[in-house]
Structure 1
Amino acid sequence: MHLGPPPSRPLVLLTALLGGPAVADDLFVDSQALPQILTATRLRQSPAAVPGSMSVLDSELIRASGARNVPELLRLVPGMMVGYGAGNQPAANYHGSSVNDARRMQVLVDGRSVYRAGLATVDWGDIPLALEDIERIEVFRGPNTVSYGANALMAVVNILTRSPADSHGTRLKVIRGQRGIDDWYASQGLGWEGGDLRLSLSGQQDDGFDHNAQGQHYRDGRRLTRLSLSASHALNAEQSLDWQFSAKEGSEQRPYAYTPVFPGVSGAGANADVNAKDYAASVRWNIDLDPWHSLYLQGSALHWDRQQVWRACDAAIAFSPQLAQLWRLNPGYTERLARNIDAPIPPGSDQEQALAREVRQQWHNGGANPVCGDIDQSTRESRLDLELQDTLSLSDSLRLVSGVAYRYDRADSQTYYDGSLDDTTWRLFGQLEWRADEHWIVQGGAMFEDTRLAGSSLAPRLAVNYLITPRHGLRAVYSEAVRSPDMFENNVNWSYRVDNLRPAAFGQRHAEYFVTTRGPGDLDQERMRSQELGYNGFFSEIGLSLDIKLFHDQLTGMVSEPLRNNRPIASNANKARFTGSEAQLDWQLRSADRLRLTYAYVDAWASNPDDRHLSARNSGSAGWLRDWGRGWSSAVFYYGDDALNQYRFERVDLRVARRIPIRNASLELAGMLQQRLDDEPTSNWQNRYDSRQVLYLSAELEF
């Protein structure tokens, strides 16, 4: 059957290059169902029609990888930089720029943001979600402020969980291995007329890295337990209700890392372990008004609670009111005085020198004596998020998604905010898809966002896709994106109140440490301009998916200063540029074999040296999944970065599994071996293992 005018000669030649007659046959009519992507524009689209680059990690890939957390899975995404601050502090960022804090990447669980605005980070290891409950992970590789707001500056990671309807029955799983690995998972799913429910319980534990750069034991182990409840109800033929509740409780080890400012103090304090409790709940009301018009209303609430109380020691002079006054007057001058308290008083203004003389006198009158006290560095953060989205097919060739969202954030911390701080955000968004004909798609969208503490912004995107066939498309994308400074960057009021001082300092059992940090309060948004050219295609005859991307991204107004006390306050003084290419190949060679390859070349330049170190010029992965029959399967993966934070990373992972049917149940036994091919630290000079390999085993029973 032939529809429309005959293809031009150049188009025939191009289709021949793409796959010959098999591709030419479905040039105008494609009888096979196309896979669907949701994260890119909030509209369901085929991969070839998406206005950007996508990576999809499906359930088969997640299971075969043997990964124990989401950042390890993201090694399968081209251009994703994965590192560790410590063994219990994994981190991931797209193209780099800040590997320790995911400040420029939006992370969602079923559309609900898990980004912590109060401390400008994502707690990857603390997301209250077991990997066994994940159906797929969609990663939009590029700026997507248009769809998801100001934190989607460089990428969006959307973690989609399994539907309760697909989770009936019982699953039990245990993982044991070296480095203290001790994980478990249990779930029960059931259904009734019009509804389904899944309850999951899980836990994780490991010892982290073995030793630091000095060969000492690295205190970075973790332990956590999680609960997740997910349900779906069909109210009638047109309406459904989905709701979720999750909770997490755990602890993370933190070493005593405080270095006394003043000489002669050697008393050790206590370790600064963190006890965490997280809660999240969401409800979504889906309404299909007719086959061409649908909407949903979603509300979610999140709460993060981090309790961290530790004991530190320094000289009594650290709590001098005169030294604190001098710090507020001139931090740089004060630090020079404190670091060389016995040296001659540094030159300065009359007021600075007068205060310095008082401090020097206090130092000689007992201020040099060591004192120890308790520091409460606990934080609590809460979020309320409401969103209304409308999806409308205006015609056979025109679709519109639009919506409005409201978010309220509150952070409570005596240390970071001298009490509490809150913020409100309003968003208006829209995305229009126009299929000019069966080949050309024009897509445009914008997001208007107003944040009480950071002001308003507008982010547009324009994309043109040319569909050679429904499964093969070329794209050209221009987008502008913003990132609003977070509460921590812009409004931090960082000071330490130390309790139970022994002995007392200047007659006080409770005193303020002299160092304080105040946020500027007037930071502007970071801004990105991004250009992308790409190709996405699926060669159905041979089961090959291919995505190629060329990109050029420019960031201005970057807030790059380390978020640490006694450092310069944040500013918009930095900028960066990322240029390069990415490729992703997923090939179902035969029913038994699957091959996956990724590669990214990133030419990164940044005005801040720290940002330059956190991008690997060459990175990638290679994986081979094999079903050997009779229940046996294997998967081998290679991951490599040439220089992430100046350290090379190369690792091979091998997973071998056997599935054994037992009447109405099945048992899977698996072994996982990870072998480092280099002898480098893992993204940080402190992160070291005694052995370059680790082995862990798992057993999973389903019935």
Structure 2
Amino acid sequence: MTQPLQCCLLGLALSVFAAPVSAGEEVWFEDLPTVLTASRLPQPLNEAPGAVTVIEGELIRATGYRDLARIFRLVPGMQIGQERGNSYWVTYHGLGANFPSELQVLVDGRSVYSMANFGGVDWTTLPVSPEEIDRIEVVRGPNAVTYGANAFMGVINIITYHTAQNPIDRVRSNLGSAQVHDFEGLKHLKAGPATFQLAASTKRDTGFDNLHDGRRVNVGSLRSDWRVSNQDELMLRLAASSALRGEGYENSLFNSVGPRDASAQAQSLHLKWTRTPAANAEMLVQFYHNQERNRDAWIATVPAGVPYGPTGAAVNRDRKGTRDQLEFQSRLSSAARQTVWGAEARRDTVDFPFMYAAGNPEPTDLYRLFGNLDEHLTRDLHLNLGAALEKYRGEPTHIAPRAFLNWQVQPMQTLRAGASRAWAQRPTFEKEGETRVIDPLTGTLLVHHLANPDLRQARIDSIELGYLGRFKPMASSLDVRLFRERVRDFIVRNPVSSTAALEPWMSSLQYQNLASPITLQGVEYQLRFKPWKEADIIFNHTLIHRHSGDAQVDDRIAPYTASLAWQQRWTRQWSSMFSAVRVGPMAGADGIATGTPYVTKAYTSFDARIAWNARTESGRKYEIALNAINLGKRHQEIPDRGVQVYRAYLGDDTPANAVTPTVYVSLSADF
């Protein structure tokens, strides 16, 4: 790597081992965090079957970020792009389409994926506030054995506070450039054995300069935890969100992604019953219901001089979707062994007439069995075995196995080795989606995107070696993952021939399985240390060698990423947060102009925050902070290839969606 910033960051990271012993080393003696996400079993971080990054709620709040997706820039291996002011592209190792679905994303165990969002996650309307979050656990690597097909590349598990754990009432507001105007409030209540938390927020801004991407997002949630008995507890979470946001671009071929305002509404119900009949046993039953409704329509135009022009045709992407899931889990533990097993059933439905021109697909049913065994073979040798049996309606039955061995070489040094297999979720939209754009005057078929009933689920086979160590100098820690991931039948969108009238100008497309496998090999690591009092520095670095036989697939993945975050408490009142990220060239998603190469340039971006806080005599905290994101040279992160190609045709090769620096003031107070 020759990039100056990466060299400087790497030098800073390596200097920790040559540095003298410093203040704050008492942190070295703290226990490693206990994680749940890797295997559904509570286990110290060094016994987890795979690489797990824990993002503490304190760190999340210290960044001052308005969008939760941005925090994952500080996780090794994650590749995050901001396509516009109201939209983020979140992947692990960059392997994703326009709406990435290769990472399982959970909020307190509830999956937030939706068929109404093309199988992806709508990060803009995610109904969870940074103030509610206890921690986020990120499993870096396939984990379908534990959480199913959406965990194809990994898992993001957002864990909120128990309502009796952090009963602080708080209000927060953001005001700043791009007409940033946010407000958020948390309120706690108690009624007998039940505790409640109400959260409500509104978020507004005008997005990037020279782009139609403003937003108005309203979110509300209610969580209740009820201790029914010494053995039983119930959790209820209700959430709803609504959003109005700008979409599209001024210059796109035939106004195919024209500027418009789109709306989204989402509601969810989550019920969880936990029974603990003994100290070493636990049973869990949970049910959740998600529903989403989107309104997104505009007029595509064919100009004069093109056959069947001038004319206009309606593009109506109005849609709604639901997900219902019922799950059972049983966990047992002893001094040397833990086991968990369970079953789940899920149904997804979607109503999307424009994208399913031949008729909406049948409900997608999923049935799944899973189990994990976690055993200490010796005091220093630790084994984890797991497997899942998964069946989607209309797909073959698949088995997803995993095996990991962790060796505690020294009390603070652990080596791990493992292998796993995972299958991607059923490709409903890619397999059954068919789009027809019709001339309303003549009935002529203008554009036709075809279904592919022969499409297969993608499969990944992963082998990894890992190291987790802690060191006295600077209370430092190092987490390394060496990986080799081989993806077969990855789904891409290719041009195909059809009888559509605009075929010479706008290709017909079809999702197909890539003929050759994709191989990803590389290393990622996180170095965390405290070089002086009240400081916390996190350095992440990832190098990926990718090979698929298709240059445009390789281009989706940045060959390197690096980030540095420095959190500092200067006095009891003053604190700061600074972060820098470096991302290599990356094409990101496929876009509408599939088959046309376009890659964003490597970029460096900076975020910063400085805060002053104080406490009242009763201990209540209030804070004022100055926040800034997207500092440095303006750059493009995730392009729309179709828009970029058409702009170049018109003689403009500048990025259509360069990010805009945003500065805002945050005010918060406990009451």
The interval holding the TM-score normalised by the smaller chain is 0.7 to 0.9
* Equivalent residue number for residue 295 of structure 1: 283
What's the CA shift string for 1:648-703, capped at 9, x where partnerless?
12122221101122343321000012353344323326454586x43111000112
The Cα offsets for residues 136-166 of structure 1, whole Å up to 9 and x where unpaired, read as: 1111000111111112111111111122113
Q: Distance in 2 between matches of 1:97 and 1:607?
A: 15
Letter in 1 for 2:667: A
Q: CA deviation at 1:546?
A: 1.8
Cα offset, 1:469, TM superposition: 4.3
Equivalent residues in 2 for 1:158-307 (5 A)? 158-211=157-210, 218-255=211-248, 271-307=259-295
Select which of 46, 56, 59 maps to 2:57: 59
> 2:545, 2:375 → 1: CA distance?
34
- RMSD between aligned residues: 2.9
* 1:377–1:413 Cα contact (<8 Å) kept: yes
Do the aligned partners of residues 640 and 576 (structure 1) sit closer, same or farther apart at CA in structure 2, a change above 3 Å counting?
same
Q: Secondary structure at the match of 2:429?
A: helix
Matched, 1:561 2:516: no
Distance 1:696 1:608 in 2: 43
Please name the residue that 1:120 is paired with.
119
* 2:152 corresponds to 1:153: yes
Q: Helix, strand or coil for the counterpart of 1:42?
A: coil
Alignment of 1:472 with 2:465, yes or no, is: no
Compute the displacement of 1:99 (Å).
5.7
CA distance in structure 2 between the partners assigned to 1:644 and 1:629 by the alignment:
41
**Structure 2: how far apart are the matches of 1:274 and 1:517?**
22
- 1:14-33 matches, cutoff 5 A: 33=31
Q: Secondary structure at the match of 1:485?
A: coil
2:102 counterpart residue number? 104
Q: Match for 1:407 among 342, 346, 365?
A: 346
Equivalent in the alignment of 2:454: 522
- Say whether the 8 Å CA contact 2:194–2:224 is kept in structure 1: yes
Which residue, out of 586, 605, 612, partners 1:651? 605
CA distance in 2, matches of 1:117, 1:405: 19
2:573 to 631, 638, 643: 631
Q: State the shift of 1:236 in Å.
A: 0.4
Residue 623 of structure 2: aligned partner = 668
Aligned to 1:455, what secondary structure does the other structure show?
coil
Tell me whether 1:38 sits opposite 2:6 in the alignment. Answer: no
> What percentage of residue pairs aligned between the two structures are identical?
28
**Alpha carbons of 1:310 and 1:563: their partners in 2 closer, same or farther (altered >3 Å)?**
farther
Structure 1 pair 314/542, CA: closer, same or farther in 2 (3 Å)?
closer
Could you tell me how far apart the structure 2 residues matched to 1:690 and 1:459 are?
40
Matched-pair contact (CA < 8 Å) for 1:642–1:649: yes
Q: Which amino acid aligns with 1:602?
A: I
C-alpha deviation, 1:540, in angstroms: 6.5
In the alignment, residue 241 of structure 1 is paired with which amino acid? L
The more displaced of 619-628 and 540-549 is 540-549
Shift in Å at residue 386 of structure 1? Answer: 0.7
- Residues 310 and 376, structure 1, Cα contact 8 Å, conserved in 2: yes
Contact 1:454–1:484 (CA under 8 A) maintained in structure 2: no
1:420 corresponds to which residue?
360
Measured against aligned partners, the alpha-carbon deviations of 1:182-210 in whole angstroms (never above 9, x if no partner) come to 21111101224422110000011222221
The structure number with the bigger radius of gyration is 1
Contact in 1 for aligned 2:291/2:322 (Cα 8 Å): yes
CA shift at 1:467, angstroms?
1.5
2:381 to 431, 440, 444: 440
User: In the alignment, which of 376, 389, 397 is matched to residue 316 of structure 2?
Assistant: 376
Distance in 2 (CA, whole Å) between partners of 1:114 and 1:136 is 17
Instruction: Report the Cα distance in structure 2 between the residues aligned to 1:553 and 1:599, rounded to whole angstroms.
Output: 18
- Give the superposition deviation at 1:47: 0.9
Deviation at 1:117, TM superposition (A): 3.6
- Look up the match of 2:596: none
Q: Does the CA-based 8 Å contact 1:269-1:372 persist in structure 2? A: no
Equivalent position of 1:6 in the other structure: none
Letter in 1 for 2:581: Y
Letter of the aligned partner of 2:319 in structure 1?
T
Contact 1:84/1:100 (<8 A) preserved: no
User: Could you tell me whether the CA contact under 8 Å between 1:209 and 1:687 is conserved in 2?
Assistant: no
Instruction: Kindly report which structure 2 residues correspond to 1:290-369, keeping only aligned pairs within 5 A, or say none.
Output: 290-314=278-302, 341=307, 367-368=308-309
Q: How does 1:494-643 map to 2 (within 5 A)?
A: 494-496=435-437, 505-506=441-442, 513-539=445-471, 542-561=474-493, 567-574=508-515, 575-589=517-531, 592-643=534-585
Q: For the structure 1 residues 141 and 555, does the alpha-carbon distance in structure 2 shift closer, same or farther, using more than 3 Å as the test?
A: same
Matched, 1:694 2:635: no
- Equivalent position SS for 1:695: strand
Q: What CA distance in whole angstroms lies between the structure 1 residues aligned with 2:549 and 2:318?
A: 34
- 1:218-274, Cα deviation, whole Å (9 max, x unpaired): 11111110001111000100110011010001111123668666xxxxx99974321
1:372-417 deviation per Cα after TM superposition (whole angstroms, max 9, x unaligned): 3544320101000111011112x42121110000000000011012
- Structure 2 residue 331 is matched with structure 1 residue 391: yes
Assess if the C-alpha contact under 8 Å between 1:98 and 1:611 holds in 2.
no
Determine helix, strand or coil for the equivalent of 1:71.
Answer: helix
Whichever residue aligns with residue 310 of structure 1, its letter is W
Q: What is the distance in 1 between the residues matched to 2:384 and 2:540?
A: 27
* Separation in structure 1 between the aligned mates of residue 556 and residue 419 of structure 2, nearest angstrom: 25
| Alpha-carbon distance change, 625 to 192 in structure 1, aligned in 2, over 3 angstroms | same
Alpha-carbon offset, residue 106 of structure 1: 1.1
| Counterpart Cα distance in 2 of 1:151 and 1:202 | 29
Return 546-555 or 175-184, whichever deviates more: 175-184
Question: Which sits farther off after the overlay, 484-493 or 551-560?
Answer: 484-493
How many angstroms apart in 2 are the aligned matches of 1:527 and 1:268? Answer: 33
Helix, strand or coil: the match of 1:657? strand
CA distance in 1 between partners of 2:256 and 2:404 (Å): 58
- CA–CA distance in 1 between the matches of 2:213 and 2:546? 31
In structure 2, C-alpha distance between the alignment counterparts of 1:192 and 1:466, rounded to whole Å = 48
TM-score normalised to the size of structure 2? 0.85
Q: 1:78 to 1:427 in 2, by over 3 A?
A: same
Residue from 453, 476, 483 that aligns with 2:394:
453
Give me the whole-angstrom Cα distance separating, in 2, the residues matched to 1:104 and 1:279: 23
Which whole-Å CA distance do the structure 2 matches of 1:237 and 1:446 have between them? 33
**Partner letter of residue 490 of structure 2?**
M
Q: Secondary structure at the match of 1:245?
A: strand
Measured in 1, the distance between the counterparts of 2:445 and 2:262 equals 21
Secondary structure at the counterpart of residue 488 of structure 1? helix
1:87 aligns with 2:29: no
Partner of 1:330: none
Q: Distance in 2 between matches of 1:275 and 1:310?
A: 13
- The answer to whether the 8 Å contact 2:522/2:545 transfers is yes
Q: How far apart are the structure 2 equivalents of 1:429 and 1:223?
A: 41
Could you tell me which residue of structure 2 aligns to residue 346 of structure 1? none
Distance 1:227 1:513, change over 3 A: farther
How many equivalent pairs are there?
Answer: 610
SS class of match (1:681): coil
Distance 1:688 1:160, change over 3 A: same
Task: Report the CA distance between 1:101 and its aligned residue.
Answer: 2.3
One-letter amino acid matched to 1:444: L
